[in-house]
Structure 1
């Protein structure tokens, strides 16, 4: 059995406004599966496909209070493209953000609800990822996270050391997933989390049991008992959802 990363879920007080920002930022289409949920995916995309990790923006009443432990890095193809993208994002409502980055070649911004993200300088490794280069997760121990996530999903582990671990779909397409060593442990529920989906024909409950055996724990984020997904947390407490096979 195996599962794979299919989307990220992003909490927002105004899912439509945040969804519009990210749809414009990425050049993706926007739809809604129901009240309080805005779905984003590339135009013409057939879900699920590792060529893209989609975004679901979900309405919540609580405002953002701390720096997110998950964020997106956006890819660029040239210095001019980076400058143009930063300017366009600011026109869409992004604002400069200081997360202690100092003098770096990438630009740190925040979306209209304060979710931090980076616009990277051109990097050859990200030339074929699409607009999202990396989904970045802050962590205390990248090696522990690499062990868990490397077994949790059928993605390929590309690199691991004391400072970071990097995975990508085994098909070699779409964005990377990076666990970045960062001071400080998780203190509140993540406003951005990963959604995993087993393959068609697999048993979700068996997959959930396998993930628990790898070190996942049950998490209560107020989801109730009548939802078709299961909420778990990884070894550092980051919530993630296991969706129904598809």
Structure 2
């Protein structure tokens, strides 16, 4: 039985206005007039907060977004840069957003209005990560024979189809620039599942900052 529910996404950025404009166009989201640093969709779970931070991106992001698009040229016109073109073996284009953050573009004949396809997390042990998060937020663990990656699908509240965990050799060294928030009736069951409390809710923040077993930061809002 899950102990939390997916809430939304947060992206660390240097210039919120530029990144709101870029990601709004790329993902098919809008920014409300009374809160220009957030993107919203027709359900609350599609919310993406653009959080201004002083530190720039310095290493490859361990969390990135995969998006659906009608053309790679269209993403370039929006302000993205091609890092690695698609090939016969790799059916996606690795790109960078205006601040250098990696994301992948998947060309589709038909593109939905909301174009976020999946959240991808670099992992030392993708299977363990997928099963841990399934225990926290629910959903089904998927895999393909002979393939090293695992994913979650049918996660309650998840506004995109897949949450993917892929193997990488390098260890996590800095705070992730993309993280997710969850809601939970209580914090302790999340900690009992194996999360680490990094910063408790206090007078400055209204949520608990935690980390999963591989150190990926996420925030817990008590419901």
Distance in 2 separating the partners of 1:129 and 1:214: 36
CA-to-partner distance for each residue in 1:106-136, whole Å, 9 max, x for gaps? 111111111110012449xx98894111100
Taking the TM superposition and a 5 Å limit, the aligned residue runs for 1:97-176 are 97-98=83-84, 104-122=90-108, 130-159=114-143, 163-170=148-155, 174-176=160-162
Taking the TM superposition and a 5 Å limit, the aligned residue runs for 1:212-231 are 212-220=191-199, 225-231=203-209
Structure 1 residue 2: Cα displacement: 3.1
Q: Tell me if 1:19 matches 2:20.
A: yes
Structure 1 residues 160 and 7 mapped into 2: Cα distance closer, same or farther (>3 Å)?
Answer: farther
Distance in 1 separating the partners of 2:125 and 2:113: 26
Query: SS where residue 32 of structure 2 aligns?
Result: strand
Query: Counterpart of 2:6?
Result: 5
Query: SS where residue 31 of structure 2 aligns?
Result: strand
Query: Counterpart of 1:244?
Result: 222
The answer as to whether partners of 1:233 and 1:240 remain within 8 angstroms in 2 is: yes
Structure 1 residue 224: Cα displacement: 6.0
Query: SS where residue 152 of structure 1 aligns?
Result: helix
Query: Counterpart of 1:234?
Result: 212
Structure 1 residues 32 and 38 mapped into 2: Cα distance closer, same or farther (>3 Å)?
Answer: farther
The answer as to whether partners of 1:142 and 1:160 remain within 8 angstroms in 2 is: no
Query: Counterpart of 2:37?
Result: 38
Query: SS where residue 222 of structure 2 aligns?
Result: coil
Query: Counterpart of 1:209?
Result: 188
Query: SS where residue 143 of structure 1 aligns?
Result: helix
The answer as to whether partners of 1:129 and 1:173 remain within 8 angstroms in 2 is: no
TM-score (normalised: structure 2) = 0.86
TM-score (normalised: structure 1) = 0.78
Moved over 6 A (4+): 126-129
Structure 1 residue 6: Cα displacement: 2.4
The answer as to whether partners of 1:7 and 1:195 remain within 8 angstroms in 2 is: yes
Distance in 1 separating the partners of 2:113 and 2:159: 6
The answer as to whether partners of 2:31 and 2:37 remain within 8 angstroms in 1 is: yes
